[in-house]
Amino acid sequence: MAYNVVKFGGSNLKNPSGIKRILKSIICYEKPLIVVVSAFFGVTNNLLNAIKLCCRTEFDIESFIDEIKQQKLDSVKNIVSNPFLLDEFLENLNQRLSELYKLLSMVKQNKTSELHLYDLILSYGERLSSLVLVYALKDIKYECYEAFPEDIGLITDGEFKNATVNFELSRELLNTNLSEEKTYIIPGFYGVSQNGCINLLGRGGSDYSAAAIAACLNAQSLDLWKDVKGFLSADPNIIPDAVSIQSLTYAEAAELAYFGSKILHPRTPEPLIEKQIPIRILNINDLSTDIDPLTIINTKEVYAHNVIKSVSYNHNFGILKLVGSGVGIKPGILAKTTSEIDKAGINIKSVITSQTAINILLSQDDLMRAKRIVQELNIQGINSINICDDISLVAAVGEGLTSRHGIAGRLFSAVAQKGINVRIICFGASNVAMYFIVHKNDCNETIRAIHSEFFVPQEYLV
């Protein structure tokens, strides 16, 4: 029997009732089973903040640690009734928190956050979650074992903060070190480099950890438990009657995640495609005795009636615009600028060029730094370098977008009818996604226009 790999995120780990729901869903699964957990809701951000505050003398590590301790104790006291287990939990919790205390003290003393300390400290959010879950399960007499990525061999490429899993090495080690007879609780979000350093897998990366583990073990599925109704046709804060999407391809899911849908880390599908392991999205709030996924992501191409399955947006993109009368035709300008930006460790999200302008799409946080880099290059032919950070990127996703005619026309007429000005359009780079840029203030109206054009309820019934 192949493994089930199941992941619970921070939104499931907010309070004792969330943990109880996790227990209820774990017992629905057949074995062999692997459970991957994120940090409790907000804890990664708190740890990040603590690292930043360490450089201030007034920052009191002890009270920071006490707060975390109280949060975990409050949860566990509500769940674990066996006093021996509670004592054992407390002992382990103290041990883990004293390790965290030492690490934060090291940052405080050096007044720097060396990269290896940064990654190690942030991994404690997940390590505390796995500890809580193990004791909560033990209390209901569910046998399970905590397994750290560094002990079982989830090996990375060695990059700090945003590592990639080394599948060749990890596959061999995980299959040797894990036994199908046991249920493991594994902290997500990090792996270990070949020389033993803890490496984070990027923000939101425990989806990717779980996917990597599922791929290495050739699991039957990867189940991601969320507190929303699966992938939706749009953000329900903008479209209250957005509908759940039952089926997505890996490519559709990756594009939606890349362009802003928060439900999945964009790298999650990557390891699973080759073995065609499905990702199933489930809602912890409508837990029955069955495992009933809302969205299934696999290779099956299901065409939506109107092609577009979902529309997402991202406010975090910005444009670095290089203007000059011949930038499009002069050789080398694009290569020179993008390679220098890349060398500085800045991720280029997209590049759209014309004869007179090169538009480089970046994360807003990187705009100023990228501008300085290009200014210093002093390239002949670039007359001005502008930054545009008042934009939103809107993406429409669906299999068939590039092959079915008339979809783009219909979409942009719907947007134009609302008097919205579309600044840049990118169509054709991916077979399943098309994206464009509007002013930030127009974003919600754009989403509403597209949604009402493509998601007419009667057509849904067809």
Which residues contact ligand ASP (rule: CB under 6 A)?
Answer: 9-10, 38-39, 44, 125, 188-189, 203-207
Residues 208/267, Cβ–Cβ less than 8 Å: yes
In the complex, minimum distance from the CB of residue 97 to ligand ASP, in angstroms, rounded to a whole number: 17
Residue 203's binding partner, choosing from Mg ion, ligand ASP, none, with beta-carbon cut-off 5 to 8 A by kind? ligand ASP
Residue 271's binding partner, choosing from Mg ion, ligand ASP, none, with beta-carbon cut-off 5 to 8 A by kind? none
In the complex, minimum distance from the CB of residue 284 to ligand ASP, in angstroms, rounded to a whole number: 15
Structural Rg of the chain based on CA atoms: 24
In the complex, minimum distance from the CB of residue 129 to ligand ASP, in angstroms, rounded to a whole number: 9
φ/ψ bin of 288: left (φ > 0), alpha (ψ from -120 to 50), beta (otherwise): beta
In the complex, minimum distance from the CB of residue 261 to Mg ion, in angstroms, rounded to a whole number: 12
Question: Quick one: 204 or 266, whose CB is closer to Mg ion?
Answer: 204
DSSP 119-131: HHHHHHHHHHHHH
Of all helices (H) and strands (E), which one includes residue 280? strand 279-283
Beta bridge partners of 439: 391
Question: Quick one: 184 or 436, whose CB is closer to ligand ASP?
Answer: 184
**Helix, strand or coil, per DSSP, at residue 83:** helix
φ/ψ bin of 295: left (φ > 0), alpha (ψ from -120 to 50), beta (otherwise): beta
DSSP 311-370: EEEESSEEEEEEE-TTTTTSTTHHHHHHHHHHHTTPPEEEEEE-SSEEEEEEEGGGHHHH
In the complex, minimum distance from the CB of residue 201 to ligand ASP, in angstroms, rounded to a whole number: 8
Residues 6+ away with beta carbon under 8 Å from 126: 37, 38, 39, 187, 188, 189, 190, 206
Query: Strands 310-314 and 221-226: what pairing?
Result: unpaired
In the complex, minimum distance from the CB of residue 10 to Mg ion, in angstroms, rounded to a whole number: 6
Based on DSSP, count helices (H) and strands (E) in the chain, helices before strands. Answer: 14, 18
Question: Quick one: 44 or 233, whose CB is closer to ligand ASP?
Answer: 44
In the complex, minimum distance from the CB of residue 432 to ligand ASP, in angstroms, rounded to a whole number: 24
Question: Quick one: 12 or 310, whose CB is closer to ligand ASP?
Answer: 12
In the complex, minimum distance from the CB of residue 316 to Mg ion, in angstroms, rounded to a whole number: 16
Q: What are phi and psi of 423, to 5 degrees?
A: -90, -50
In the complex, minimum distance from the CB of residue 36 to Mg ion, in angstroms, rounded to a whole number: 11
Spatial separation of the C-alpha atoms in residues 286 and 292, rounded to whole Å? 9
- Helix pair angle (333-343, 367-377), 10° resolution: 130
In the complex, minimum distance from the CB of residue 115 to ligand ASP, in angstroms, rounded to a whole number: 17
Question: Quick one: 201 or 374, whose CB is closer to Mg ion?
Answer: 201
Question: Quick one: 265 or 349, whose CB is closer to ligand ASP?
Answer: 265
Question: Quick one: 126 or 252, whose CB is closer to Mg ion?
Answer: 126
Candidates 5, 68, 2, 3; CA nearest to 279 is 5
Spatial separation of the C-alpha atoms in residues 164 and 190, rounded to whole Å? 10
Spatial separation of the C-alpha atoms in residues 188 and 35, rounded to whole Å? 9
Question: Quick one: 209 or 446, whose CB is closer to ligand ASP?
Answer: 209
Residue 39's binding partner, choosing from Mg ion, ligand ASP, none, with beta-carbon cut-off 5 to 8 A by kind? ligand ASP
Candidates 294, 164, 138; CA nearest to 223 is 294
**Helix, strand or coil, per DSSP, at residue 268:** coil
Amino acid identity at 447? I
Question: Quick one: 128 or 232, whose CB is closer to ligand ASP?
Answer: 128
* Chain contacts with Mg ion (rule: CB under 5 A): 9, 204
Question: Quick one: 108 or 226, whose CB is closer to ligand ASP?
Answer: 226
